[in-house]
Amino acid sequence: MFGVLDAQMEPGNYAITPDLSGNHGNNNANNKKPRSSHSKKARDSRADDEDYDDEDEDDSRSSRRRGAGGGSGTTDNGEPENPRLMGMEIPLLDPASDTVTYNGGKFDVGNNAVVRARFEKYLQQNPDDSAEAKRYRQRMDDLMKLTQNNARQHSEVGSQTLLQIGRGLYEINTYPGDAGQAATLASSIASALAVQYANRDREKKNEQLTHEIEKLVHDTDILTTRNTHGPSHKQVGTGRSARVVKNESKSHTFRIAEQTTEIATKKGTKVKNDADSVAALELSKINYQATLVSFLFQRRFEHALIGSFAYRHIFRDGDNKLNIKKDSQAAKVFENGAGLPPTINSIASLAANARREVDQNMEAVTNLLAQNKLAEATQHLIEAVAIGEYMPSVATFPTESRRRIAEFWTLRKRTLTALNARDYGTLEEIADKMKKLDADFDDSLVRTYCDGRKLQSDMCLRNARKAFMSGDEEAATDYAEQAALIWPRNPHLKEMQEEVLKLDNNESIITEFKSLLARHQYRTIYNERSKFKVVAIDPELEKQLEDCATLIGTIDAMLAQIDVAAKQDKKMGPCMAYEMLLDFQDKDSRYMEDTAFKDAVVRFKVDARDFVAALDEAKVQEERREYGSALANYYRAQCLCLPSNRAKEGIDRVSQLILAAKFPQ
């Protein structure tokens, strides 16, 4: 209801127009003919009630439809149901209504903007418990008691009492929190009373006119009788001077005519007075009712109650029906809200219920705050402020309690902002904070929603990465866009973006890597391996980079060991080192591509030149089948470096050949 009320408070959203149709335009519908007037109004009322019933039924159907909205997979306006992820419905935010639709239900995430703005303003205000405010409320209570007591006693409120109410209202008008509403009510009462006084004067005039008419009628009747029953002529004088003249009945005739005219004129005046009274009364009612409805919409429930109680004593014809245009926004308030026919009593009922509801809400807020249940307390306070911002229980709500609610409310607002921005990380952080403030805060919906969306985004990103690796840039872009749409601040999104950007920027590095690899410049790659890390995007290149690192690492470690070993035996050390280098070279031809390895080979070749020369010569001679020379060289090499495997192997090999050969005897 109060959502509607808030909407009504927007300028131009409601209209109260006088119903000047035949029912109320009937001149006979005045105090003198209450029965006929009432019976007709009762019929109208019944007809209206039937209309309301029909509309209520339509509303209830509509309400059922709304209640079931989303549960069947489609919304009222035929929108498709929410998307699903892994069998679970993904909640969707409706920014227009600040609600989240989930599993067929709508969950409030902050209420509408008007309520929100008013609530935030309220939270930042100080409690209005000044002496002036207390005096105002005391006076307002007195006025309400005055009207209520008179209503209970069934005694008519006299003009003096009404004037007392009016004066009281003018007195409290100076309080700023009243915003001049008391004066407005007082003015309306005064205006209505003025109309009543004017009507009373007209009634008195009409009574006087009635008397005058009756007298004129009486006089005219006498004159008419004289004319009918008297001689038409009479003799005047005697003798010769006597003459017959027409009787005075001739003058009666004129008099009768004149009096008849006067009677008609007075009757016309009387009718006009009656019509003026009725019109003034109706207009006065409409103005007064408009003021009362306005109070209700402005949530000035005390004013509305005082005005409602005073109404029946100002307008004593028993007509309490509100002259609200059918189908107007104001009429809907009374239809949907209380389910009552629109009467002055409806206003009183709504106002009284609203006051009670506000007080109950505030009581609940206080109790919930004592239990640290901020979420529920906030919800109740929103309702209380929305309904009765000017109620004493709301206006005097303590500052400390407002601060606690404001803190929770700010987080709740940020939840909405984060949800709109699809910043699920922040959303979870806020949920954590809210949970810390209120242990009973139900964050399951937020967490489920966040987890689902994050997973969805990550899956898209994974697909994007796979597509990118396979070279399908178009698909990769599509997946990345989807991931960004679902969760714009996904940290993995940034990682991938950096990867892609780096890859784009390092295209030349990859080319350089391939070139160095083709030229077997393994040590250059190794020395700049941090730069070439970008090639890891390609698994094959990554493996080659790792191979380079392993190769050069092995060579460096080996050279270090060989250097140490060579220094330990200056005679055979270089020979052994050289032979080891040759052994490594035989195992992996890439060793000779390395400059450090080649340098070491050259260095040890110089240091062990005799040994190297013997081995080389042995090899040459062996190829020439000069086995005697070859064997002598191998022995020479063995003499220079006894542990030499190459020398030993050569000796064994050539010795076997010679021993197996046939020589001339």
- The residues that touch another protein, with contacts defined as CB under 8 A, are 614, 617, 621, 624-629, 631-633, 635-636, 638-640, 651-652, 655-665
Q: Which of 28, 390, 36, 40 is nearest to 180 (CA)?
A: 390
Token match 């207009």: residue?
283
Of 238 and 665, CB closest to another protein? 665
Of 357 and 626, CB closest to another protein? 626
Of 5 and 615, CB closest to another protein? 615
Count of C-beta atoms within a 10 Å radius of residue 663:
5
Of 327 and 652, CB closest to another protein? 652
The minimum distance between CB 623 and another protein, in angstroms, equals 12
Q: Which residues contact 305 (CB under 8 A, 6 or more apart)?
A: 144, 147, 348, 351, 352, 355
Of 354 and 631, CB closest to another protein? 631
The minimum distance between CB 625 and another protein, in angstroms, equals 5
Of 96 and 659, CB closest to another protein? 659
The minimum distance between CB 616 and another protein, in angstroms, equals 12
Of 51 and 616, CB closest to another protein? 616
Distance CA 8, CA 294 (A): 10
Asked whether the beta carbons of 458 and 483 are under 8 A apart, the reply is: yes
The minimum distance between CB 644 and another protein, in angstroms, equals 13
The minimum distance between CB 615 and another protein, in angstroms, equals 12
Q: Which of 180, 387, 200 is nearest to 291 (CA)?
A: 180
Q: Is 372 helix (H, G, I), strand (E, B) or coil?
A: coil
Of 170 and 627, CB closest to another protein? 627
Q: Show the tokens assigned to 125.
A: 């205000």
Of 154 and 662, CB closest to another protein? 662
Count of C-beta atoms within a 10 Å radius of residue 466:
13
Amino acid at 139: R
Residues 528/533/534/538 CA torsion (nearest 10 deg): 120
Of 555 and 576, CB closest to another protein? 576
Of 77 and 665, CB closest to another protein? 665
The minimum distance between CB 639 and another protein, in angstroms, equals 5
Asked whether the beta carbons of 611 and 578 are under 8 A apart, the reply is: yes
Of 242 and 659, CB closest to another protein? 659
Which DSSP symbol is given to 195?
A: H
The minimum distance between CB 632 and another protein, in angstroms, equals 4
Count of C-beta atoms within a 10 Å radius of residue 215:
12
Q: With left for phi above 0 and alpha for psi between -120 and 50, is residue 664 left, alpha or beta?
A: beta
Which DSSP symbol is given to 158?
A: P
Of 330 and 631, CB closest to another protein? 631
The minimum distance between CB 556 and another protein, in angstroms, equals 35
Q: With left for phi above 0 and alpha for psi between -120 and 50, is residue 157 left, alpha or beta?
A: beta
Q: Show the tokens assigned to 12.
A: 């131009």
The minimum distance between CB 574 and another protein, in angstroms, equals 16
Distance CA 117, CA 140 (A): 28
Distance CA 384, CA 398 (A): 14
Per-position DSSP letters for 421-484, written without gaps between them: TT-HHHHHHHHHHHHHH-TT---HHHHHHHHHHHHHHHHHHHHHHHHHHTT-HHHHHHHHHHHH
The minimum distance between CB 659 and another protein, in angstroms, equals 4
The minimum distance between CB 575 and another protein, in angstroms, equals 13
Q: Which of 557, 625, 552 is nearest to 590 (CA)?
A: 552
Residue 246, strand partner residues: 233
The minimum distance between CB 635 and another protein, in angstroms, equals 3
Is residue 242 exposed (0-12), middle (13-18) or buried (19+ Cβ within 10 Å)?
A: exposed
Q: What H or E segment, with its residue span, contains residue 261?
A: helix 249-297
Of 246 and 625, CB closest to another protein? 625
The minimum distance between CB 599 and another protein, in angstroms, equals 29
Asked whether the beta carbons of 441 and 467 are under 8 A apart, the reply is: no
Q: Which residues contact 108 (CB under 8 A, 6 or more apart)?
A: 98, 99, 379
